[in-house]
Each structure stands twice: as C-alpha cells, then as structure tokens.
Amino acid sequence: MVTALIDYESGNLHSAEKAFQRMAREVGAGDVIVTSDPHLVASADRIVLPGDGAFPACKQALFDHRGIYEAMERAVFERGVPFMGICIGMQMLATRGHEYSETDGFDWIGGDVVHIEPGPDKKVPHMGWNDLVIDNPHPVLDGIGTGDHAYFVHSYHFRVADPAHRLAYCDYGEEITAIVGRDNMVGTQFHPEKSQANGLKIIANFLDWRP
C-alpha cells in the first residue's frame, strides 16, 4: 500500500512527510512517498494534497506540474482512492476561491473560499490553536471530539454549499470551517502534522480509512 504526498513546490513537506510516515508505521499502512510523478500518483492507494500560500498561486503551481491533477482526479473518481487535502490543499476542493482574484477550484466539494471576517476583537490571519466543534461524525474523526484542538494558519476559509459536507468548524468570531468531507474525500483547514496528538490521530484514521 502506498500513500502519495503530492509535491508541487507549495510549502515545506518535511513535517507532513514525517507525521504520515510515523502513523503509517503505527497502523500498518505501508509506504508514504513524496512525489510529483503523475504515474505514481495515478497508482497510489491514498493521496494527500498539502499546500501553503495563496489560493491562485497554489492552483497555478499544481497545474504547472503537468499531469498531476488529472492523475488525482482519475484516482479519486474512477478508483475511489481516499483523498486528504491539507490547508490550501483542502481549499482547492472548493468550487472557487476569492483570494486576490476569483479562481476556479476543483469543484469536488461545492462552495467558496472567502476571507475570514472575525469582528473587531480578532486578527487575521487566524493563527494558532483553536478548539474543534464537530458537525457531522466521520471515520477520520474517530476518537476526536468537540473541544479537541488543532493548529491553524490561514486568512481564508471554505464556506461549503451543503452543510452535510462540513464535518467540523471552529469559532473565531464567526464559524470557520475546519474539516470538510464527501464520499472518499476529506480536507482539514488546520495542519494535522502540527496539531500534536489530535492531528496524528486524524492522520492515522485517514490511513486506516476504507470508504
């Protein structure tokens, strides 16, 4: 079994790689590889799309790596491969993003990525620890409950079109989408690899998930 961690030169993958490799060993989920090879992505058993930076730049960087998006799309929709997006990787699942300019997302989970409007007593970016509020149960959230915390760094968030696709949110003056999910796809706005025990638990659950 192989989990492909997509490298499209959008952020430092070192901590994510180490966290996924550690939990893969613990749950017996095989190998975790960092790759920009669409052939390896197409044949992977699980796919993880990370990302740091602005939505348009990350989208462009991904599509500049020719063939990766098409390989992911075929794996996710034709073979039902479990997929996890992290931070911008989660936001790119949306219909469109509104950071700097309106940019089409993957439209795998309907909704828009919009600027956080937290009110006068909060700062943007939303950075640091915040408590999760669970909306909808999901196998990737086994052992995770309302009040458990995760580590966030972002200025935009995913406003989903269908409330059933929001698995969890956090309170930051407004409800900030924290986890989305649909079919064989999940995404976390926070960084699970930086979220200590709770993040590692979510990673382990994903690696053991058979949707």
Catalytic residues: 87, 191, 193
Report whether 72 contacts 59 (CB < 8 A): no
Rounded CA separation 126/181 (Å): 22
How far is residue 190 from each of residues 25, 55, 74, 148, measured CA to CA in Å? 23, 15, 26, 13
The CA R_g of the chain, rounded to the nearest whole Å, is: 16
The token duo for 181 is: 């999910």
Rounded CA separation 164/42 (Å): 28
The token duo for 186 is: 């999940």
Q: How far is CA 49 from the centre of its chain?
A: 7
- Residue 200 CB coordination number (10 Å): 17
Q: What is the DSSP string of 71-114?
A: HHHHHHHHS---EEEETHHHHTTSSEE-SSS-EE---SS-EEEE
H or E segment to which residue 127 belongs: strand 126-131
